[in-house]
Structure 1
């Protein structure tokens, strides 16, 4: 009978429950230890805090200059997402609709770039960007995120655009719409499901990225949240109580982002499956 609750369903629910617990354990350690004193963390990291030390958050907020680093992270994440979505969606559209060997070669080059590890190019990257004057600037790091994020974004857009009937575009052209207008008025609105997916993936990556900002943003006024958290760890001291509180301050905006984007994520999944 359809919809009948079976032993197999019960077993899958138990398995899913234990998997969820495994993934939540690290989050428990971060939250609980961020509310302890430093001595209490050293004594027992697994125990619940005896007294909630919300002063850790106040001190971490002040020491890391949270409003400044939050603003830097927000600007870099928003602008990087914007340029990635705009340029990569247009590039993928032209690669799909241009039927020749060069478009296929260019697409394969973007896909091949996805497998190149960042560590293998970071030294020449810093040297080259320094010569271009892109170090210690938000526009510079945004351009780099566009370069590193374009491979996956174009790959995802390319596969989605192939499923859009070309007859819709031909009808718009007959009605007098330009090629530019066809993309922004007809094609781009249909890309909403995959655009939401790309924004979510890029937001997680860019917001939490540490290595690229460490290499590029050497000015203390341009630090992002991960960089500001890192400076709680000195050569001889490690302020775990403040560092974990700072880490939670960096996680909270992402949790709020997912809370408000939840319905769009579900709609994107459903629209993509129906399409």
Structure 2
């Protein structure tokens, strides 16, 4: 006997409601730390000893103290310049490398692909001393350029593999048609191929910029100048100076976190496109 359609429909709706409740609980679980951080950043000092109590008043003095004592604008500028420079260099180098490795069948390019992959299995922590000595020899220690080159070099293997996977889905007929119309290799790549790789670029930006932004070890080792500090190292320094002044510390953490949330909200569609681009072949 076949099941009653009405009963099956009720069961499916009940299952969806249960799933929505579970997802809501999980969302609250993940969002609560962010809510606690924002709430604590506007709490007066007297309210910190009662964790679940709402702020008796909105106290913006924590943010005023951060801007006055923590050099936030300077640290924010350094972080933006490092992330932006890294992403521009990473996208340019990795996209072209992934394209060439995919389009050329010679053994040399296949060997190059395996060389890129080998970079994924070498931990950065094992090379800290040689990298530091290299920075001294090149006179790049305490410069943002050195950190940009370091981030680019350590991320190129992953980015190249990502772009190579996307390039395989671009039909060769597009390049043949462009060649017939007199399009040169450089113009063909930047005008035809690269725009088709925007989902891969969006995926790369969203998945790697969080690491560049939140990295602590790199700026701590290679940017020892106080005027070259990033936001993460500034939080560490500010926490050391004001170990019990939690309001300004949470305010600084909020200022460091909010740009990433805004970036994710504006780029999440590209991340979804990138993750699903290879799932359907038409």
Same fold (TM over 0.5): yes
- Let me know the Cα RMSD of the aligned residues: 2.3
- Tell me the distance in 2 between the aligned counterparts of 1:236 and 1:54: 17
- Equivalent residues in 2 for 1:92-131, closer than 5 Å: 92-131=98-137
Matched, 1:15 2:22: yes
Q: CA deviation at 1:55?
A: 0.7
Length, aligned pairs only: 273
- Equivalent residues in 2 for 1:1-275, closer than 5 Å: 6-41=13-48, 43-234=49-240, 237-265=243-271
Q: Is the CA contact (8 Å cut-off) linking 1:194 and 1:272 kept in structure 2?
A: no
- Is the alpha carbon distance of 1:56 and 1:272 closer, same or farther for their aligned partners in structure 2, counting shifts above 3 Å? farther
Shifted more, 77-86 versus 27-36: the winner is: 27-36
- Is the alpha carbon distance of 1:171 and 1:131 closer, same or farther for their aligned partners in structure 2, counting shifts above 3 Å? same
CA offsets 1:2-23 (integer angstroms, 9 cap, x no match): 9x96222112111211111111
Q: CA deviation at 1:175?
A: 2.0
- Is the alpha carbon distance of 1:5 and 1:75 closer, same or farther for their aligned partners in structure 2, counting shifts above 3 Å? same
Greater radius of gyration (CA): 2
Give 5+ residue unaligned stretches, structure 1. none
Q: CA deviation at 1:262?
A: 4.5
Give 5+ residue unaligned stretches, structure 2. 1-7
Secondary structure at 1:257's aligned position in 2? helix
Give the TM-score of the pair, scaled to structure 1: 0.90
CA offsets 1:16-36 (integer angstroms, 9 cap, x no match): 111111111211221122222
